[in-house]
Homo-oligomer: A and B are copies of this chain.
Amino acid sequence: MDYDELVSHILKGDRRSAARLISLVEDEEEGYEKALKSLYPKTRGVPVLGVTGAPGVGKSTIVLEITKRLRSEGRRVGIVAVDPTSPITGGAILGDRIRMTELFADPGVFIRSMGSRGGSGGLSSQTGSAVRILDAMGCDQIIVETVGAGQTQVDIMGMADTIVVATMPGSGDEVQSIKAGLLEIADIYVVNKCDLPGAMRTVSDIQSMLDLVEDWEGWKPPVMQTNARESRGIDELVGNIRKHDEYARSSERLIKRKKEQYRREIQELVTREMARKAFSSIEEEELDRMLERILRREENPYSEAERIAARLFSGRKDIASRGQR
């Protein structure tokens, strides 16, 4: 694998090379960090939009509509979907996916799903790498879609300049679920499918939840209504996204958020680097005997894991020197 060539193709805007490198990152292919290291200084830090919410609220249609607006201005859009249920990357029923066809046909749009192959996790750092690859390739705006559940998803959203939390009219439960994990990260709330009964109720439920917070430090998240399938409310949404992007860049908000995200990403990278070496010091036979003791309930996995970790931390010379390349 000639990484230098791959990098130079990506910097010239070659989509296939970008796709290739993202796959190498996901597969943790030997040496992929080399490419990421040389790409990193070339990234421009283009705006990253995060769109999250429960399955079925219409996140993908919102992303589709926003992308159309950006394309009409001639901007190149990169979409990264970390969402097994996303029609954008083929995770949903056929009908939804057909509406996405126009996205796929547009050479100014790059679409990628993450998290469905290889690797023992590290999804947050892998998504971060994908965003940077698309930035270096020349995308003017990146959109990251996640399904709104789980700490990993919240972590991933941390790399966005602006985070849109989407919901739809329904039982009060929707608002409860927003409360649970997404309240602290949302910059803009969208009640999609606003033609359904109860939309105003959902808006006011979110509003009253927001009213409980005393200090918004300069930005109180607006609560908007959209009907993405009929393109309603999208211009206003794009307007608010830009307004927040500008606000975030002019305040400490973005730097704080980015720092937090890099901190997590580095932690993930360190962990993976160590995990890669975790079993290398153990003979296959020794491991097999250990597993058999565990299966016989003579030993437990927790104590064995501690023993291995302790051994790794005891500082074997060969491991230490390999880490210092």
Contacts and interface: CB of A to CB of B under 8 A. Distances in A.
A111 interface: no
Given A278-B270, A302-B33, A302-B37, A323 B314 contact: yes
B313 A36 contact: no
A320 B115 CA distance: 34
Nearest to A85: B55
- The quantity of this chain's copies bound in the complex is 2
A197 interface: no
Interface string A17-60: 00000000000000001001100110100000000001110000
Nearest to A94: B171
Interface residues of A, number: 86
A308 interface: yes
B150 A84 contact: yes
A92 B152 CA distance: 19
A116 interface: yes
A151 B313 contact: no
A149 B91 contact: yes
Contacts of A287: 263
Given A255-B295, A287-B263, A295-B258, A118 B151 contact: yes
Interface in A154-194: 155, 170-171, 173, 177, 180-181
Contact of A271 (B115, B152, B274, B310): B274
A218 interface: no
A273 interface: yes
A70 interface: no
Contacts of A294: 262
Interface in A68-98: 84-85, 90-94
Given A94-B170, A271-B271, A313-B277, A308 B266 contact: yes
A85 to B, nearest CB: 5
A305 interface: yes
Given A85-B55, A274-B274, A302 B263 contact: no
A315 interface: yes
A210 interface: no
Nearest to A308: B270
Interface string A95-136: 000000000000000000001111111000100100000000
Given A297-B43, A313-B323, A56 B274 contact: no
Interface of A: 33, 36-37, 40-41, 43, 54-56, 84-85, 90-94, 115-121, 125, 128, 147-152, 155, 170-171, 173, 177, 180-181, 255, 258-259, 262-275, 277-279, 287-288, 291-292, 294-295, 297, 300-306, 308-310, 312-316, 319-320, 322-325
